Chains A and B, each alone.
Chain A
């Protein structure tokens, strides 16, 4: 709407900014709150199957094993990508375009690496969603998270494209900031999933 600042009668009046927080940032935070609750629903299912259920199965369900180590490596990859994301944002705030591009590309690559590793893991893991409530919950939570990584990557690639087209400036960089917030959320979520599924 800012396009109309010059011409008051040329479209809507400029809305009053009644809060310090920016609309789209707040929007993303609320969206994340909702997303967190979706994970919450899946964790509740996990909780019921593994804790509440009077005759809960062993975890992991023999004879299956969880590739704790590979997943651990994968975790570090994802966590690192949070830092590169942060770097990208800081760079554009300081007006450093190349830092922005490099940061975004690195983040993107690490995200892809994570997703690929997880797919390989699925292919090699030797059990499927039908193998007991254990298999169900495993694929349910990791799958849900995988889907979120995918969404995050899509947002990031958009930001990257625009970064290379030189769209962002130290003043206007929501296009980087907002996907960034989401990406950090996805990473944090993974740490929780990893801890509950693989470690506990």
Chain B
């Protein structure tokens, strides 16, 4: 990140506190303090473990599993967070000192260094989120490249089965918990307060904390590779009882999910409060941009559902660490309980991974079709519909799991009904394009790619929702195909669309349209080549999560691997485009897309506090083509509403 990344400090803005000198640098918030606080807290945690185990006459006193869970995976991270200063303000408060008038010293970014500090500016946090999540996307994808290489031929080549399962599990864990979910949170972090006409999120410090939990969770997942016995290898679903019998690496997943989950709960809570209490005057719910609606519904899902995966991971972990019997049949445990609790989160989670994308596409569609969103209210309501239905379908992941037979048909019906609200969205987008003035900029290409690919993924979902078909298809590569059509063709395409769409606003620079389009086409081709054949090799008899498969599928897998490398390479184009444009792309006008929503009515990048004065909202967000229509009027020194010349 370079210093063009954010507005130069305004005269009246408090400069950040002067850098500390000498020993003070060890006591002031920052990585130096974290460097000694993390080990200190580790020692505290470990000490507690030893003390209590000694007290209770447990054998052995130094049980490394327990020490890992408490010392390495719980207290050390807390020490790290305390070290970088995530808690400072609250500690002042707790200590009962009169809380300092907040001087916003930790607000805004004036040099790349500020991105590596605890920062309370939602725009900085948004960028921190995106950079971090794309780092983990690269790692997760890199792992996919590795196991695709192993899968290029039948039989075993490079890795043994345990390592292979480890790669697959890490791949999925990183992609879901450290890419898709937080990447959406990052985009929303940047855009939502601006769109609402708010100066920041409701709880800026909580916002900063929830970001810093991510690196913790991510490194925890990766650290599992160093654990004796290798990384967790039970898939991202980590089913009991297998998960409580696996090598130590498993607990890195159990705990990593806790940190990532805590992060997304905090963010969701923050979004909800911001959206409910900080809308600009005139911004009624029926005037909110659909991205805001999408994050509103998503946040509800997160707040309600996420505790369930927390629970499920605690249970499997306790079964290992504390020898409890949640899932030990011999001791009266009940194995299927895990799957019910896990999927009660993880099905809603798939909508957590899709609804924000729906929001992004709505923004892009309206702007690049130069038309109002077709059926705005129904678009918002269908989100709510999906939210409600999403809680009534979890058992469709358990059709072959020995589920109570009477539960299958109801769950099949609800699963299929979700096609209706989703269909409403798809058709409304198509109608939005109808007779529009389509500008095929990169975000629009990804939006179209998304619609076509997600429809395919959704339709394969309908196949799976049909119990008899799922009985044949479950746990085969057909599932893998479905996963990637909805998660890559769906979520990832929308994330790319969003990144390109808000890139000028975030960085103040334009990306290269040419490279953007190249990136799209490479991805589109690589993606379909990789994942489409998986449908039939799965149905024909290739199970998922196997390092070694029967020779008949050799050729198709070779093709798949080849395309997957193309897909991987395509992302290199993306990274090149982003990095180069960020350094020396042409300066972006404040409203290159001639969009109506509020974030485009301020400079690119926006001023540190977004608006000099809170704008007054006077109309809907998508009134394109309506003569003289305005979404909002801005007083004060914000950029004027009329459009500048677009930079090509």
A and B pair up: yes
Q: A interface vs B, CB < 8 Å? A: 1, 3, 8-19, 21-23, 26-27, 30-31, 33-35, 37-38, 40-42, 44-45, 48-49, 52-53, 55-57, 61, 129-130, 132-136, 139-140, 158, 161-162, 165, 167
Contact B202 A27 (CB under 8 A): yes
Number of interface residues of B (CB under 8 A): 60
Q: Check if B283 sits within 8 Å of A18, measured CB to CB.
A: yes
Query: Given the known A-B contacts A27-B269, A31-B269, A165-B96, are A140 and B310 also in contact in the complex, defined by CB atoms under 8 Å?
Result: no
Establish whether residues B199 and A30, one from each chain, have CB atoms under 8 Å apart when the complex forms.
no
Summarize A's interface: helix, strand, loop or mixed: helix
Known: A52-B336, A133-B333. 9 other contacts (CB 8 A): A3-B101, A3-B102, A11-B13, A17-B277, A17-B278, A41-B307, A48-B340, A130-B325, A135-B324
25 sample A-B contacts, Cβ–Cβ < 8 Å, listed by A number: A1-B102, A10-B12, A13-B614, A16-B197, A18-B277, A18-B279, A19-B277, A23-B277, A23-B278, A26-B272, A30-B273, A34-B265, A34-B269, A34-B304, A34-B307, A37-B304, A44-B340, A49-B326, A53-B333, A134-B332, A136-B325, A140-B315, A158-B94, A161-B94, A167-B98
In the complex, which of the residues A9, A57, A135 contacts B612, with contact meaning CB atoms closer than 8 Å? Answer: A9
Proximity string of chain B (334-377) to chain A, C-beta cutoff 8 Å, 1 when within and 0 when not? 10110011001000000000000000000000000000000000
Q: Which residues of B contact A9 (CB under 8 A)?
A: 12, 612
What CA separation (Å) do A9 and B93 show in the bound complex?
26
- Nearest-Cβ distance from residue A47 to partner chain B, whole angstroms: 8
- Is the Cβ of B104 less than 8 Å from the Cβ of A45? no
- Please name the residue on chain B nearest to A55 by beta carbon: B332
- Does B203 make an interface contact (CB < 8 A)? yes
Give the chain A neighbours of B326 by CB distance below 8 A: 45, 49, 133, 136, 140
In chain B, residues 247-282, which have Cβ atoms closer than 8 Å to a Cβ of chain A? Answer: 265, 269-270, 272-273, 276-281
Asked whether, in the complex, the Cβ of B96 is within 8 Å of the Cβ of A48, the reply is no
CA–CA, A44 and B304, complex, Å: 14
Cβ of B614 and Cβ of A16 under 8 Å apart?
yes
B546 to chain A, nearest CB (A): 30
Chain A residues lying within 8 Å of B202, measured Cβ to Cβ, are: 23, 27
Q: Which residues of B contact A (CB under 8 A)?
A: 12-14, 93-94, 96, 98, 101-102, 104, 197-200, 202-203, 265, 269-270, 272-273, 276-281, 283, 303-308, 310-312, 315, 318, 322-326, 328, 331-334, 336-337, 340-341, 344, 609-614
Q: Smallest distance from the beta carbon of A33 to chain B beta carbons, Å? A: 6
A42 CB → nearest B CB, Å:
6
A8 and B199 CA atoms in complex are apart in Å by: 12
Inter-chain contact B334/A133, CB cutoff 8 Å? yes
Q: List 4 A-B pairs, minimum CB-CB distance, nearest first.
A: A41-B311, A48-B337, A133-B332, A12-B199
A13 and B199 contact, Cβ closer than 8 Å, known pairs A129-B323, A132-B331, A158-B94: yes
A41 and B611 contacting across the interface, CB-CB below 8 Å: no
In the complex formed, the residue of B with least CB distance to A9 is B12
Compute how far the CA of A19 lies from the CA of B196 in the bound complex, rounded to whole angstroms: 13
- Is there contact, CB below 8 Å, between A12 and B203? no
Q: What residues of A have a CB within 8 angstroms of the CB of B332 in the complex?
A: 49, 53, 55-57, 61, 132-134
Among the listed A23, A37, A158, A161, which residue makes an inter-chain contact with B308, where contact means beta carbons less than 8 Å apart? Answer: A37
Total number of residue pairs linking A and B with CB closer than 8 Å: 169
Q: Are A133 and B331 in contact (CB under 8 A)?
A: yes
> Within 8 Å CB of A10, what residues of B?
12
What residues of chain B lie closer than 8 Å to A14, measured between beta carbons? 199, 614
- Report the nearest A residue to B198, measured CB to CB: A15
| B609 surroundings in chain A (CB, below 8 A) | 11-13
Docked-complex contact A13 and B613, CB < 8 angstroms: yes
Once bound together, how far apart are the Cα atoms of A11 and B14, in whole Å?
8
Q: How far is the CA of A48 from the CA of B322 in the complex (A)?
A: 20
Tell whether, in the assembled complex, residue B334 and residue A15 are in contact, meaning their CB atoms are under 8 Å apart: no
CB pair B325–A38 under 8 Å, yes or no, is no
Give the residue of A12, A38, A129 whose beta carbon is less than 8 angstroms from that of B200. Answer: A12
Verify A16–B279 contact, CB threshold 8 A: yes
Q: Of residues A23, A30, A42, A61, which shows the largest number of chain B Cβ atoms within 10 Å of its Cβ?
A: A30
Question: What is the minimal beta-carbon distance from B405 to any residue of chain A, in angstroms?
Answer: 14
Contacting pair A13 B612 (CB below 8 A): yes
Residues of B within 8 A of A162 (CB): 96
CB neighbours (8 Å) of B610 from chain A are 12
CB contacts (< 8 Å) of A17 on chain B: these are 277-278
Contacts of A3 in B (CB 8 A): 101-102
CB neighbours (8 Å) of A158 from chain B are 93-94, 96
Judge whether A37 and B307 touch: CB under 8 Å: yes
State A33–B96 Cα separation when bound (angstroms). 28
Residues of A within 8 A of B310 (CB): 38, 41
Question: Which residues on B sit within 8 Å (CB–CB) of A19?
Answer: 276-277
- Min Cβ gap B93→A in Å is 7
Of B96, B272, B305, the most chain A CB neighbours within 10 A belong to B96
A45 & B311 in contact (Cβ 8 Å cutoff):
yes
The answer to whether A42 and B311 have CB atoms under 8 Å apart is: yes
Looking at the assembled complex, report how far the CB atom of A130 sits from the nearest CB atom of chain B, in whole angstroms.
5
| Least Cβ–Cβ distance between B277 and chain A, in angstroms | 5
Bound complex: CA A29 to CA B337 (Å): 28
Contact (Cβ within 8 A) B276 A11: no
> Smallest CB–CB gap between A183 and chain B, Å?
17
B residues less than 8 Å from A15 (CB atoms): 198-200, 278, 614
| Nearest-CB residue, chain A, relative to B303 | A34
Residues of A within 8 A of B611 (CB): 13
CB distance from A37 to the nearest CB of B (A): 4
Contacts of A56 on B, CB cut-off 8 Å? 332
CB distance from B99 to the nearest CB of A (A): 9
